[in-house]
Structure 1
Amino acid sequence: MNAGPTAAPRRDAAAPAPLNWDVAVATASRLIKPGPEVPRAEAERAVRGLRRFSVEAETHVREVTGLGQDLPIAEGDVVDRRDWLRGAAEGLDLLTEDAMAAVDGGERSPAGDFFGGLSARGAGVQAGVVLAYLGSKVLGQFDPYGAAPVPGQRGRLLLVAPNIVAAQRGLGVPAEDFSMWVCLHESTHRLQFNAVPWLREHFARNLGELLGAMEGGAAEVLGRLPAALREVRSGRPADASPGVLGVVELLQGPEQREVLDRILALSTLLEGHADHVMDAVGPRVVPSVTTIRARFTQRRNGGGPVDRVLRSLLGVDAKIRQYAQGAAFTEHVVGAVGMAGFNAVWASPEHLPTRAEITDPAAWLRRVHG
């Protein structure tokens, strides 16, 4: 399903890049499969539906959350897998630039130092392998650093048509219901970043601090890997995550862990809030929402042994836990103080929950609402 072209990552030729995103896209494009065979009429119907639902979904999200009532709404970009690869690479490139600019005025040397022993091309090949795997799984994505389609909006909403069709077929649920359900989740992310003016820069600043705090670059970080793996084998700390994420945490010193905790807490909040909202919209918009949620949750936790290993290594399993933890936090807070009270999280960075508060929402309520 080819839904439209996406520009390849662009960069000032004078600016050194620690990772060659063109190589990453080329590598991923060679590895990724095109997706399911879909009759042309069905493909065109799916693309039209996703464009329409991406607008309708945000209207429903605004009603539930009370956010962004006066913001413009634009259609999402419906893309195929290879277009998603290019869009994701462009967004990651821009995120890295913004992250480093947020902490050092645009100097890119900390990121370059972090990739240290890897050439830009070698790093690009490794990134391409990861993108190829994710490109066959991702249903949609809001990229807050991509080019917005209309004035007054920030970022770009991507909906991966072949993956949405494949998932809907695999789950055996109504096509229109599933497309709307996916759009509700991604439109919530779009609204989060557009209705909260400081959120985009806050995320980039924290990522830049993390990259800038990587002491000694890749060589020193990798030198700590054997000790970290021994700690994993001997019994992982209770608060550490599995897979790559857990190893990354073990490799960090206290300063880096503090920044990483802020990034993980924010990511968990954003994902859980989106999951809560997409279900809160309810049966009046998605009649089969209960069935979709049950089957999709089972799908998230399933897969063959090779797929499960890859998910663990790439941190996808940790991402799945973020949805559950963030949704539980949101449900607890909304149940206690309503959606208006929950929206205090967006008042300032100081009101965001800490990583500890994500699993102890009562603590956040005491701190913010007294």
Structure 2
Amino acid sequence: MSTGKSSLSVGRAVDWKFAATVGEKLARPGPAVTSYTRNQVIEQLSEAARSAELPVREVTGLNEGGEIPEARIVDRPQWIRAATQSMRVMTGGHDDGDSKAGSISGRITGAQTGAVLAFVSSGILGQYDPFGPDHGELLLVYPNVVAVERQLRVQPYDFRLWVCLHEVTHRVQFRANPWLAEHMSRALGVLTEESSDDVAQVVSRLAEFVRRRREPSNNGEAEPNSAGMVGLLRAVQSPPQREALDQLLVLGTLLEGHADHVMDAVGPAVVPSVATIRRRFDERRQRKQPPLQRVVRALLGFDAKLSQYTRGKAFVDAVVGKVGMARFNAIWTAPETLPLPTEIDEPQLWIDRVL
């Protein structure tokens, strides 16, 4: 709804080219590999991304009927550049020449964005970008795959295929249901639009949020956690932005949980050492981090991401276990059939409402 005031999207306030440059310079180097190992992992990831597609389609019952697209195998700087392009599109940013993005403030926000992406680039294994070239692109970050498989001491090819099962599921989700990208884009548009609220209203909401959180938590922790950071974000948002944030959080929880469910359903048939990989990977997810790293992870939303995997998978496991995958797939019909925030932890509520 228009307020009569001009609004500036977040994307137009960032110098995305500068963000990519800063991110590439700050990215940590990947693990040392020989040319032979580099070529081998690139070739095997490409092959695994192709071979994972048909089992994923079969288990999910989602099949857009098209040819299997090739994944793009990238290093950390290449992922950062692709991520800045995707974020620019998602947040309504412009190419070079936008006056706001080219300003001093645009370069400052660009530097901040680049620094965040540099941090993230050392941990992300793969990503399906629904806003990438050709209506979506699967990226696999080979240095990180090598680093994690070495850390876990697992069979390299098995681990590479296992990773691809998860990421290819995201590709199938979006390609079989094109409206998902549009739904996500609309919510992002609301979330990243500059608020027209009066400053006093924002300060009032923030003060109320702080007042409610003065009581100590049960565990006495003072450092930020994912729930607290989401709460702080919601405190300064307008009602439409809070609704958009809820939509994105629920959608992310569903997509990640569904991918983890599919990965475990397909894995035993195609990945011989899947049990070992899953056990060691889960142990790695739950490993306690140093204090500073825990704070950074909370600020960047990594803890919320892990919560999405566990809560989302529990939701999908429960619904599929009760009604089967074919009836579960009613969830992909339209935005109205996606789970509500209250239904993620109460799957029966979704079943009662939708089925």
In the superposition, the TM-score normalised over structure 1's length comes to 0.83
**Paired residues of 1:214 and 1:221 also in contact (CA < 8 A):** no
What does residue 137 of structure 2 align with? 156
Q: Secondary structure at the match of 1:284?
A: helix
Matched, 1:364 2:345: no
Shift of 1:313: 1.1
Within the candidate set 126, 129, 140, 2:115 is matched to: 129
Q: Give runs of aligned pairs for residues 13-24 of structure 1, distance below 5 A.
A: 17-24=12-19
Shift of 1:220: 7.4
Alpha-carbon displacement from aligned partner over 1:197-220 (angstroms, at most 9, x marks no partner): 211111101111223373449997
Within the candidate set 174, 196, 205, 2:177 is matched to: 196
Q: Secondary structure at the match of 1:281?
A: helix
Within the candidate set 66, 71, 84, 1:76 is matched to: 71
Q: Secondary structure at the match of 1:74?
A: coil
Could you tell me which runs of 5 or more consecutive residues in structure 2 were left unpaired when the two chains were aligned. 1-10, 219-224
Change (3 A) 1:36 1:233: farther
Change (3 A) 1:23 1:227: farther
Code of the aligned partner of 2:57 = R
**Paired residues of 2:12 and 2:92 also in contact (CA < 8 A):** no
Matched, 1:93 2:78: no
Change (3 A) 1:217 1:17: farther
What does residue 261 of structure 2 align with? 276
Matched, 1:335 2:330: no
**Paired residues of 1:213 and 1:255 also in contact (CA < 8 A):** no
Matched, 1:48 2:34: no
Shift of 1:252: 2.6
In the superposition, the TM-score normalised over structure 2's length comes to 0.87
**Paired residues of 2:64 and 2:175 also in contact (CA < 8 A):** no
**Percent identity over paired residues:** 48
Matched, 1:324 2:319: no
C-alpha distance in 1 between matches for 2:200 and 2:34: 50
C-alpha distance in 2 between matches for 1:355 and 1:193: 21
**Paired residues of 1:24 and 1:126 also in contact (CA < 8 A):** yes
Change (3 A) 1:218 1:78: farther
Shift of 1:119: 1.3
Code of the aligned partner of 1:281 = V
Code of the aligned partner of 1:205 = R
Alpha-carbon displacement from aligned partner over 1:9-42 (angstroms, at most 9, x marks no partner): xxxxxxx921011111111112111210011111
**Paired residues of 1:29 and 1:85 also in contact (CA < 8 A):** yes
What does residue 147 of structure 2 align with? 166
Alpha-carbon displacement from aligned partner over 1:164-192 (angstroms, at most 9, x marks no partner): 00011001111011101111111111111
Change (3 A) 1:344 1:44: same
Q: Secondary structure at the match of 1:119?
A: helix
Q: Secondary structure at the match of 1:158?
A: strand
What does residue 29 of structure 1 align with? 24
**Paired residues of 1:243 and 1:313 also in contact (CA < 8 A):** no
Shift of 1:288: 1.6
C-alpha distance in 2 between matches for 1:218 and 1:71: 50
The runs of at least 4 consecutive aligned structure 1 residues that moved more than 6 Å come to: 217-220
Shift of 1:347: 1.0
Code of the aligned partner of 2:330 = A
What does residue 299 of structure 2 align with? 313
C-alpha distance in 2 between matches for 1:24 and 1:301: 31
Q: Secondary structure at the match of 1:306?
A: helix
Could you tell me which runs of 5 or more consecutive residues in structure 1 were left unpaired when the two chains were aligned. 1-15, 101-107, 149-153
Q: Secondary structure at the match of 2:267?
A: coil
What does residue 64 of structure 1 align with? 59
**Paired residues of 1:215 and 1:221 also in contact (CA < 8 A):** no
**Paired residues of 1:273 and 1:327 also in contact (CA < 8 A):** yes
Q: Give runs of aligned pairs for residues 215-234 of structure 1, distance below 5 A.
A: 215-216=196-197, 225=206, 228-234=209-215
Coordinate RMSD, CA, aligned: 2.7
Change (3 A) 1:89 1:194: same
C-alpha distance in 1 between matches for 2:199 and 2:293: 27
Shift of 1:70: 1.2
Change (3 A) 1:218 1:334: farther
Q: How many residues align?
A: 334
C-alpha distance in 2 between matches for 1:283 and 1:20: 45
Alpha-carbon displacement from aligned partner over 1:72-100 (angstroms, at most 9, x marks no partner): 211210000000000011111111129x9
What does residue 10 of structure 1 align with? none
What does residue 221 of structure 2 align with? none
